[in-house]
Amino acid sequence: MAGLIRKEDIREVREKARIEDIVGQHVQLRSAGSGSMKGLCPFHDERTPSFHVRPQLGYWHCFGCNEGGDVISFVMKHDHLDFSEAVEYLASKTGVTLHYESGGRARREEPGRRGRLLEANALADEYYRGQLESADAQHARSFLESRHFTREQWERFGVGYAPSPWDSLTRYLRGKGFTDAELTTAGLAVQGNRGLYDRFRDRVIWPIRDLTGATVGFGARRLGEDPNSPKYLNTPETPLYHKSQVLYGLDLAKRSISKQRRVVIVEGYTDVMAAHLAGETTAIATCGTAFGSDHVSVVRRLLGDSADPAAGVVLTSGKAIGGEIIFTFDGDEAGRAAARKVYGEDQRFATQTFVAIEAHGMDPCDLRIAQGDAAVRQLIESRVPLFEFVLKSVLASLDLSTAEGRVAGVRVTAPVLAGIRDVALRAEYVRIVAGWLGVDPASVKNEMRQGTTRASTPRAQESDPVAKAERQALVALLQRPLDMVGSGFEDLGSDAYTVPLHQAIHEAIEATGGLDVFLDFLASAEAEAGVGEDSVNLATRRWLDEIRAGADSVVAEALTHIAVEPLPCDEEDARDFALGVMKSLVRRGLTRETAALRRQLRRMDTDDPAYEDTFARIIELDTKRRALAES
């Protein structure tokens, strides 16, 4: 089973297995220029090579049959192996020693080890709950009371307190016979220069449990104002705790979810408490990570999600056939970006997916404090289909009073409309969106069809010079990110692109942290391997892996295309070419924004308070554009 191999070992296998050597055992590869290699695809018949490999990044892609991935996926597909078998094969080739986290073939002692870790977590859970009653925990109790929770209520959810001393829990569990190795493996303690110390100190604690009710980890909120300490802290990856799979409150909500065929996904521990106390007992939350594909699998099993052709149809009672999933997000740009990401995962559900956002941006806990339990219930009941919310959010930044804005609106809504599974519902929303934009529904339908074709066959965009330039800029960015630092990419928003898929790729890059995160990876790689080209390649690969991991399946596939697509220049000219195409994209984005603001300025009264701000922004953009031209 794939989950048995430690993630760190899988990453080491990926990085040590030279993809050109592994693929080269089956495909005759030759240079395709600019660091790329190509050959005849081993997965379909062809006469002209369309199979590309990018050794520096560790990816392959065939532009003929559209298959692609990393070195592990190549071995899986070529040798008909499952994930674990492919990793083990590559580990044997690269000399990597694999470690198994739970139930693995090389771990005969695992059941006893797992039991010990579960026991340590159970005792820690009991210890933290007891500490919340201590005199030293008065500020923790005051915090909970400020969130309108009573003692009886926080006890119902098993809330606890981690005391301030460095090793209180460590000493307690040592006294129960646990070794230091067991405490660090469970994620309860950390090994420092001066010995072992507690991971959680002076924090409110929430136990995170699996479906059986066993405590597998903890979530914690800081009480003090230490700027060097994160506000929220979770158990790290352990043999018991995998953040991409755990959901807080699942043990409490599972019966209601199965019975009601409904789940409400909120953003925080106190939001789960508030929703349950308000009567919405299907509420759960992710733990320090975004809702992803592994969470989808967990929720689908609980809902009994199936391909019911009527799934998602909302009855007059307000309930949806086949069940429903309701996400609550903040009403800001981060919330809208989260909704767009979840929309990619939505295609994995047969169940209808909704979003509920409070008009003033309050989360369920704040809403309960301000307006009471009924307001929380009303928030959930006022949900709207996720695709409707995404449609409105992608249009929010456009000026629909202009022809350019309306054309852009048609383009950005097309991929969202194409993702609506129900054909009749899709046709209805095509008409609705056309009404919003004031255009003929046929225009929306046509763009939707073209957008679907562009997304599935990205190279078809080559006939459009603007789309081609955008794609080349993204190729340059993802293959040569070090060259892009200071290129002006930081000034770009997703609206600088005309192709919806390119907008989605840009948003995925920004959601990961952009070039700042690449520089973090570079610093880490240089600490491991020293300054040089090898470190740059390693950092680039890790950065791309991070972006793909956070993207939906369509964007992740497009990123694989881009990772192996050769730049149309020789290697010695690659840096200049990369900078040139990126600066061209930035200039075009600045020009487009400036033109939109000038049109807006012409319609404004000079006495309007916003006039000066708009004029100042135009000057700022002109200055940036001139500086870019001179650099």
CATH classification at residue 349: 3.40.1360.10
Check whether 76 has a pLDDT greater than 60: yes
Give the range among 415-429, 495-509, 571-585 with minimum mean pLDDT: 571-585
Q: Are residues 543 and 621 in the same domain?
A: yes
Question: Does 356 share its domain with 371?
Answer: yes
Q: Tell me, yes or no, whether 158 lies in a domain.
A: yes
* 158-to-128, 154, 162, 206, 391 alpha-carbon distances in Å: 9, 6, 13, 7, 40
Higher pLDDT, 628 or 241: 241
CATH number of the structural domain spanning residue 438: 1.20.50
102 lies in some domain? no
| Residue 409 pLDDT greater than 50, yes or no | yes
Does residue 222 fall inside a structural domain? Answer: yes
> Is the same domain home to 608 and 469?
yes
Q: End of a domain among 372, 391, 410? A: 391
Contacts of 347 (CB under 8 A, 6+ apart): 419, 421, 553
Q: Looking at the structure, do residues 520 and 625 belong to the same domain, yes or no?
A: yes
Taking residues 139-167, report their average pLDDT. 98
Q: Find the domain containing 37 and state its range.
A: 2-94
Mean pLDDT on 43-69: 86
Which of 234, 257, 272 lies at the terminal end of a domain, its last residue? 234
Same domain? 203 vs 252: no
User: What is the rounded average pLDDT of the residues 188-198?
Assistant: 92
Judgement on whether residues 559 and 617 belong to the same structural domain of the protein: yes
Of 205-219, 250-264, 463-477, the one with minimum mean pLDDT is 463-477
* Confidence check: pLDDT of 478 > 50: yes
Residue 103 within a domain: no
Distances (CA, A) of 280 to 276, 370, 511, 563: 5, 17, 30, 44
Q: How many domains does the chain have?
A: 5
> Which of 288-292, 354-358, 595-599 is most confident?
354-358
pLDDT of residue 306: 46
* pLDDT score at 334: 62
Q: Which of 20-34, 48-62, 318-332, 416-430 has the lowest mean pLDDT?
A: 318-332
Cα 125 to Cα 189, 215, 292, 461, distances in angstroms: 14, 7, 27, 56
Of 161-165, 275-279, 360-364, 614-618, the poorest mean pLDDT is in 614-618
Q: Is residue 194 part of a domain?
A: yes
Residue 492 confidence (pLDDT): 77
Helix, strand, coil percentages (3-state) for the chain, rounded to 5, are 55, 10, 30
Q: Are residues 306 and 414 in the same domain?
A: no
Residues 227 and 251 in one domain: no
253 has a pLDDT exceeding 90 = yes
Phi-psi region of 557 (alpha: psi -120 to 50; beta: other; left: phi over 0): alpha
Q: Is residue 276 part of a domain?
A: yes
In sequence order, the 6+-apart residues with CB closer than 8 A to the CB of 109 are none
Three-class secondary structure assignment of 210-241: CCCCCEEEEEEEECCCCCCCCCEEECCCCCCC
Query: What pLDDT band is residue 176 in, cutting at 50, 70 and 90?
Result: very high
Residue that finishes a domain, picked among 456, 482, 504: 456
Please check whether residues 485 and 571 belong to one and the same domain.
Answer: yes
Largest distance between two CA atoms of the chain: 78
Kindly tell me if the per-residue pLDDT of 551 is higher than 80: yes
More confident residue, 71 or 581: 71
Phi, psi of 513 (to 5 degrees): 120, 0
589 in the same domain as 622 = yes
Query: Are 558 and 624 in the same domain?
Result: yes
Is the pLDDT at 270 greater than 90, yes or no? yes
Reply yes or no on whether the pLDDT at 312 is more than 50. Answer: no
> To the nearest whole percent, how much of the chain has pLDDT over 70?
87
Check residue 201 and give its pLDDT: 96
Residues in CB range of 135: below 8 A, 6 or more apart: none
Judge whether 223 and 203 are in contact, CB under 8 Å: yes
Q: Is residue 101 part of a domain?
A: no
Residue with tokens 């043999």: 239
Determine the Cα–Cα distance for residues 200 and 222; give it in Å rounded to an integer: 9
**Inter-residue contact 462 to 431 (CB < 8 Å):** no
Query: Among 11-25, 159-173, 348-362, 452-466, which range has the highest average pLDDT?
Result: 159-173
Tell me phi and psi for residue 626, to 5 degrees: -65, -40
Asked whether residue 287 is domain-assigned, the answer is: yes
pLDDT at 311: 41
| Domain harbouring 175, CATH code | 3.90.980.10
The answer to whether residues 129 and 217 belong to one domain is yes
pLDDT grade for 332, boundaries at 50, 70 and 90? low
Q: How far is CA 448 from CA 412, 441, 444, in A?
A: 9, 11, 6
Residue 457 has a pLDDT of 46
Strand 247-248 vs strand 232-234: parallel, antiparallel, or unpaired?
Answer: unpaired
- Name every residue whose Cβ is closer than 8 Å to that of residue 253 and which is 6 or more positions away in sequence: 263, 276, 281, 282, 283, 284
Per-residue pLDDT tens digits for 103-145: 444 443 344 677 899 999 999 999 999 999 999 999 999 999 9
* Alpha carbon distance 567, 296 (integer Å): 37
Residue 444 has pLDDT above 80, yes or no: yes
Is 318 a residue whose pLDDT tops 60? no
The conformational region for residue 51 under phi > 0 = left, psi -120 to 50 = alpha, else beta, is: beta
% of the chain at pLDDT higher than 90: 33
Domain with residue 63: its CATH number is 3.90.580.10
36-50, 301-315, 347-361, 536-550: lowest mean pLDDT where?
301-315
Residue 605, classed as helix, strand or coil, is coil
Look over the chain and give the mean of its residue pLDDT values, rounded to a whole number. 83
Work out the pLDDT band at 80, boundaries 50, 70, 90.
low
Angle CA(335)–CA(159)–CA(293) in degrees, nearest 5? Answer: 40
Which pairing describes strands 195-198 and 203-209: parallel, antiparallel, or unpaired?
A: unpaired
pLDDT of residue 307: 38
